[in-house]
Amino acid sequence: MTLNIRFLGGASTVTGSKYCVEFDGKRLLVDCGLFQGYKQLRLRNWNPMPTPADQIDAVVLTHAHLDHSGYVPLLVRQGFKGRVHATSGTKDLCNILLPDSGHIQEEDAFFANKHGYSKHEPALPLYTKRDAMDCIRQFHVEKWGQWFEPIPGWKARFTAAGHILGASSLLLEVAGRRVLFSGDLGRPDDSLMNPPEPPPQADTVLIESTYGDRSHPTENLDEELSTALKTVAARGGVAVVPVFAVGRAQAVLHSIAQLKAKAEIPHSLPIFLDSPMAIHTTALFGKHMEEHRLTADQVQDMDHVATMVETPEQSKALIKRHGPMVILAASGMATGGRVLHHLANYLGNHRNMVILTGFQSPGTRGATLASGAPTIRMHGKDIEVRAEIVQLSSASAHADGNQLLDWLKRMPQPASQVYVVHGENQAADTLRQRIERELQWRAVVPEHDSVWPA
């Protein structure tokens, strides 16, 4: 009997994280994410799982981002009956993110049918808001640092990964072996989140590599935002900021609150947070005070700096307003959500600006904008890009190559095997080479749907 890991997603790509740990006829799925980005990746969401859902005994989520949690509603619909173990923060966020994901998919299918631009007849949602709300019943909250048994005889424990609220690394102990899943690791110098905890000792490590081939520049978010917002305010334009509702939205709000307090940007510059999800997530910072660096006052300031735009009607009414103003709206890679109608409305004017706030997966509209494309496609139409496109280099919620290596180095003893996951090929392979060269640990970049010993 060997302990194996089947890489069902998050292998040679940043999305779709799903690692199936198999031993003695039992199966634990670590993360259950959606594929996003390139169409050939997104199509994988429609394929039946190579490991049938009803043969999976339990799921553990490292954090709530959809590329780690967004497949849970579908897994449940396909017959998964077990528990979904997560930290309290992850459950709170999934409660916000998953129903929204279902809602967006229903909306996309509705639009496609109405305008007839889908190749499928009729276009169907991957899952519905109802599916997403139903699956939350199977969630089970686990405490930080405490062992739990997702499967009888299998022990698991969460440590803080500093990436977003609730984000964790997972240590799994099965059949005398210890396997550590890094999850998405935050930056030790993040403006919002506490630094990741050092890794506990393990035999095998799966480490993320989103920025495995990069080092983050030292300039900080406040400086970059201040420059961009001063520019757009001076020319009376509108800054559209696609934000990840969870994480980057709050970092940007916190930074804007500080810039206003220091009078570095005009106090009168109107800021709108046009994302119910981001609004609800911002409120959660007050509930999970132990996970981040903000004081109660700073949480309040972050909450008060923007006008909250709750309803779709209020969101559409923003279009009648004139600049200068700043609109933060999800999704962060402009793959869906309210940011789309703002982009459609403001991209055509050179006075306006789009501020991209984090990693843009290849194949997303965000990546297309970052590459300087003259047009982008939305709801079946090509939209001309005349607005200035700014990509913030400092607004990443992920550790860079050096920080990932530093994290590994803090493990008391070398691991016998490292699997480099959650990165595009170039990033993953660069990190693999550095682990082999600088740490002299064995490292592999697994291919999609490959099986390796744990």
Binding segment (CB under 5 A) for Zn ion, from list 21-29, 100-108, 183-191, 350-358: 183-191
The distance of closest approach from Cβ of residue 65 to Zn ion in the complex, given in angstroms and rounded to an integer, is 4
Closest CB to Zn ion among residues 45, 315: 45
Binding segment (CB under 5 A) for Zn ion, from list 58-66, 187-195, 303-311, 320-328: 58-66
The distance of closest approach from Cβ of residue 313 to Zn ion in the complex, given in angstroms and rounded to an integer, is 31
Q: Residues of 341-360 as b/e, b for ≥16 C-beta within 10 angstroms?
A: bbbebbbeeebbbbbbbbbb
Size of the site for Zn ion (CB under 5 A): 2
Closest CB to Zn ion among residues 106, 184: 184
Helix segments in 161-275, DSSP class H: 221-234, 248-261
The distance of closest approach from Cβ of residue 93 to Zn ion in the complex, given in angstroms and rounded to an integer, is 11
Binding segment (CB under 5 A) for Zn ion, from list 60-68, 228-236, 321-329, 339-347: 60-68
- 184 contributes a contact to Zn ion by CB under 5 A: yes
- 190 contributes a contact to Zn ion by CB under 5 A: no
Give the residue among 126, 123, 119 at the shortest CA–CA distance from 76.
126
Give the residue among 42, 35, 41 at the shortest CA–CA distance from 16.
35
Integer-rounded Cα radius of gyration of the chain: 21
Query: One symbol per residue from 280 to 319: x for binding Zn ion (CB under 5 A), - otherwise; what is it?
Result: ----------------------------------------
Shortest-Cβ-distance residue relative to Zn ion: 65
How many residues make up the chain in this entry?
454
The distance of closest approach from Cβ of residue 316 to Zn ion in the complex, given in angstroms and rounded to an integer, is 30
Tokens 């990741």, located at residue: 196
Tokens 């690791």, located at residue: 185
The DSSP 8-state label assigned to residue 290 in this structure reads G
Closest CB to Zn ion among residues 166, 199: 166
Query: One symbol per residue from 61 to 90: x for binding Zn ion (CB under 5 A), - otherwise; what is it?
Result: ----x-------------------------
Give the residue among 288, 247, 252 at the shortest CA–CA distance from 68.
247
Closest CB to Zn ion among residues 334, 399: 399
> Got the DSSP string for 73-85?
HHHHHTT--S-EE
Q: At 122, list the tokens.
A: 């009729």
Query: One symbol per residue from 138 to 177: x for binding Zn ion (CB under 5 A), - otherwise; what is it?
Result: ----------------------------------------
> Got the DSSP string for 143-194?
-TT--EEEETTEEEEEEE-SSSTT-EEEEEEETTEEEEE--S---TT-SSBP
Closest CB to Zn ion among residues 352, 360: 360
Closest CB to Zn ion among residues 226, 335: 335
Closest CB to Zn ion among residues 88, 182: 182
Tell me if the bond preceding 324 is cis, omega within 30° of 0.
yes
Q: At 11, list the tokens.
A: 């292998």
Binding segment (CB under 5 A) for Zn ion, from list 7-15, 136-144, 172-180, 182-190: 182-190
Closest CB to Zn ion among residues 45, 128: 45
Binding segment (CB under 5 A) for Zn ion, from list 35-43, 179-187, 323-331, 352-360: 179-187
Binding segment (CB under 5 A) for Zn ion, from list 28-36, 115-123, 181-189, 406-414: 181-189
- 248 contributes a contact to Zn ion by CB under 5 A: no
Closest CB to Zn ion among residues 159, 226: 159
The distance of closest approach from Cβ of residue 235 to Zn ion in the complex, given in angstroms and rounded to an integer, is 34
Residues 6+ apart with CB under 8 A from 252: 221, 225, 241, 243, 328, 357, 395
Q: Is residue 296 packed enough to be buried (19+ CB in 10 Å), middle (13-18) or exposed (0-12)?
A: exposed
Closest CB to Zn ion among residues 3, 399: 399
The distance of closest approach from Cβ of residue 184 to Zn ion in the complex, given in angstroms and rounded to an integer, is 4
Q: At 312, list the tokens.
A: 């779709």
Q: Are 421 and 11 in contact (CB under 8 A)?
A: yes
CA of 5: how far to CAs of 259, 320, 350, 447, in Å?
47, 53, 50, 12
| Contact residues for Zn ion, defined by CB under 5 A | 65, 184
